[in-house]
């Protein structure tokens, strides 16, 4: 059976009633090519000397892995010259990256976590790239982009997706018309459509959370997990399995494929911070994907896509996945 390529899929989306803008189509193709290059580096690992850490830290104070920096540079260089973007922002950079003057500027903004799951890079566990596309504000009128232009709620995303570098290299994408998965044919170098209109079951018997932090959780989260652990003899009346890879892309891809709930909640270790994950680079694009697949995503109080960002590197609590489970643990938060 002849499979549909990413380019064919995007052209069909452009021609449909939803009318995917041509600039966004081209932008996604550039990001997809960059992800192929990142996947190549990930695949070679120690053979190309890309494993290990640097002596530098990113803006969050985290020690950078060599592949973090390499992946960031690949995405910047690939997207600078195409004329589709006004600026880019990355989890690995202090501030935004305006398109350099020699190149034309476009009407879109690209945000990305160049390599999610850094703690797994050196141990050969699946990792990935997360990206999000926003429009420049309507009143921009050709001016240079500022940090404030990126502070848009997630519901305004034009497209979002992730690349998963695992046994298969995959690209999972939404442009607001559902979620589609593409697998990289490594012999041909092409992204081919293999997962059409991915759907997250509303019910699940799997949850993903780092239980080593149990003592730091707020009572609603502890209540929910305790009920899951109680199994058939507890209030939920069924047995649950726990999964935790410590790579958001990998955990979310499992949920996109067979359901589940992923939780990275607020905890008492840093009470002044609303959460650990970054709103713009991780929570928003993943929430867009999850909702497009029939799931739900909240921070315990409200829909993540409705959160108004206050800063480029703002953090947020994340509860996302199978709709009924997310709504249940969110309701526990409302009860106090």
CATH code (residue 226)? 3.40.190.80
Closest by CA position to 164, among listed 137, 194, 141, 202: 194
**Together in a domain, 18 and 98:** yes
Task: Consult the annotation and say whether 270 binds a ligand.
Answer: no
Q: Find tokens 């993943």 and name the residue.
A: 286
Which token pair is 244? 């935790």
As a whole number of angstroms, the distance between CA 249 and CA 245 comes to 9
Helix, strand, coil percent values for the chain (each to nearest 5): 40, 25, 35
Last residue of a domain, one of 142, 174, 195: 195
Q: What is the pLDDT of residue 80?
A: 95
Q: What is the pLDDT of residue 51?
A: 75
Task: Consult the annotation and say whether 203 binds a ligand.
Answer: no
How far CA 11 is from CA of 16, 18, 131, in Å, comes to 9, 12, 20
Stated pTM of the model: 0.95
**Together in a domain, 143 and 191:** yes
**Together in a domain, 245 and 183:** no
Largest CA distance in the chain: 66
Task: Consult the annotation and say whether 117 binds a ligand.
Answer: yes
Q: What is the pLDDT of residue 84?
A: 94
Q: Is the pLDDT of residue 134 over 80?
A: yes
**Which structural domain, as residue segments, surrounds residue 144?**
6-195
Query: For 261-297, how does the pLDDT look when each residue is reduced to its tens digit (9 = 90+)?
Result: 999 999 999 999 999 999 999 999 999 999 999 999 9
Looking at the chain, the whole-number percentage of residues with pLDDT higher than 70 is 96
Task: Consult the annotation and say whether 57 binds a ligand.
Answer: no
| Nearby residues of 159 by Cβ (< 8 Å), 6 or more positions away | 24, 27, 28, 132, 133, 173, 174, 175, 176
Q: What is the pLDDT of residue 63?
A: 61
Indicate the pLDDT class of residue 122, thresholds 50, 70 and 90: confident
For β-strands 315-316 and 277-278, DSSP reports them as antiparallel
Please report how the helices 22-44 and 6-15 are oriented relative to each other, as an axis angle in degrees rounded to 10: 160
**Together in a domain, 310 and 165:** no
- Hey, is 170 helix, strand or coil? strand
Q: Is the pLDDT of residue 240 over 90?
A: yes
**Together in a domain, 247 and 298:** yes
Indicate the pLDDT class of residue 205, thresholds 50, 70 and 90: very high
**Together in a domain, 24 and 155:** yes
Looking at the chain, the whole-number percentage of residues with pLDDT higher than 90 is 84
The average pLDDT across 3-8 equals 96
Task: Consult the annotation and say whether 119 binds a ligand.
Answer: yes
**Together in a domain, 135 and 213:** no
Which token pair is 191? 């992204």
Half-sphere exposure for 253 (CA within 13 Å, toward CB): 30
Indicate the pLDDT class of residue 45, thresholds 50, 70 and 90: confident
The average pLDDT across 117-134 equals 91
Last residue of a domain, one of 172, 195, 218: 195
Q: What is the pLDDT of residue 16?
A: 86
Half-sphere exposure for 114 (CA within 13 Å, toward CB): 28
**Together in a domain, 211 and 159:** no
Residue 145 in any domain: the answer is: yes
Which token pair is 207? 């949850």
The average pLDDT across 94-119 equals 93
Whole-number mean pLDDT of the chain?
93
**Together in a domain, 161 and 211:** no
Residue 47 in any domain: the answer is: yes
Task: Consult the annotation and say whether 91 binds a ligand.
Answer: yes
As a whole number of angstroms, the distance between CA 194 and CA 207 comes to 26
Q: Is the pLDDT of residue 61 over 60?
A: no
Q: What is the pLDDT of residue 48?
A: 75
As a whole number of angstroms, the distance between CA 110 and CA 156 comes to 13
Q: What is the pLDDT of residue 1?
A: 65
Task: Consult the annotation and say whether 273 binds a ligand.
Answer: no
Closest by CA position to 86, among listed 115, 57, 107, 112: 107
Residue 285 in any domain: the answer is: yes
Q: Is the pLDDT of residue 58 over 70?
A: no
Task: Consult the annotation and say whether 239 binds a ligand.
Answer: no
**Buried-state track 286-302, b at ≥16 Cβ within 10 A, e below 16:** bbbbbbbbbbbbbbbee
Q: How many residues does the chain have?
A: 336
Task: Consult the annotation and say whether 276 binds a ligand.
Answer: yes
**Together in a domain, 183 and 222:** no
Q: What is the pLDDT of residue 55?
A: 53
As a whole number of angstroms, the distance between CA 336 and CA 325 comes to 17
- Could you tell me if 274 and 299 are in contact, meaning their C-beta atoms sit under 8 angstroms apart? yes
Q: What is the pLDDT of residue 119?
A: 79
**Together in a domain, 158 and 240:** no
């Amino acid at each position: 059976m002849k499979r549909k390529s990413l380019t064919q899929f995007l052209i069909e989306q452009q021609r449909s009633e939803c009318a995917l803008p041509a600039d966004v189509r081209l932008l996604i193709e550039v990001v997809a090519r960059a992800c192929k290059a990142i996947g190549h580096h990930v695949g070679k690992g120690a053979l190309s000397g890309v494993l290990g850490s640097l002596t530098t830290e990113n803006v969050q104070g985290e020690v950078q892995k060599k592949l973090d920096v390499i992946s960031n540079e690949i995405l910047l260089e690939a997207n600078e010259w195409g004329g589709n973007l006004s600026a880019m922002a990355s989890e690995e950079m202090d501030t935004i990256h305006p398109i350099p003057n020699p190149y034309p500027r476009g009407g879109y903004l690209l945000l990305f976590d160049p390599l999610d799951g850094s703690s797994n890079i050196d141990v050969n566990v699946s990792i990935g790239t997360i990206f999000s596309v926003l429009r420049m504000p309507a009143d921009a009128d050709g001016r240079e982009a500022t940090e404030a232009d990126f502070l848009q709620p997630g519901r305004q995303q034009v497209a979002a997706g992730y690349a998963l570098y695992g046994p298969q290299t995959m690209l999972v994408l939404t442009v607001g018309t559902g979620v589609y998965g593409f697998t990289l044919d490594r012999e041909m170098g092409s992204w081919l459509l293999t997962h059409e209109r991915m759907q997250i079951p509303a019910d699940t018997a799997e949850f993903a959370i780092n239980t080593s932090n149990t003592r730091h959780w707020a009572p609603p989260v502890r209540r929910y997990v305790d009920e899951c652990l109680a199994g058939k003899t507890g209030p939920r009346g069924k047995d649950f399995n726990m999964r935790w890879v410590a790579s958001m892309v990998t955990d979310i891809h499992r949920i996109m494929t067979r359901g589940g709930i992923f939780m990275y909640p607020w905890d008492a270790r840093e009470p002044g911070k609303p959460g650990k994950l970054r709103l713009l680079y991780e929570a928003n694009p993943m929430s867009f994907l999850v909702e497009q697949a029939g799931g739900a995503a909240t921070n315990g109080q409200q829909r993540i896509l409705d959160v108004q960002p206050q800063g480029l590197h703002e953090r947020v609590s994340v509860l996302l996945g199978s709709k009924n489970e997310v709504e249940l643990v969110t309701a526990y938060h409302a009860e106090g």
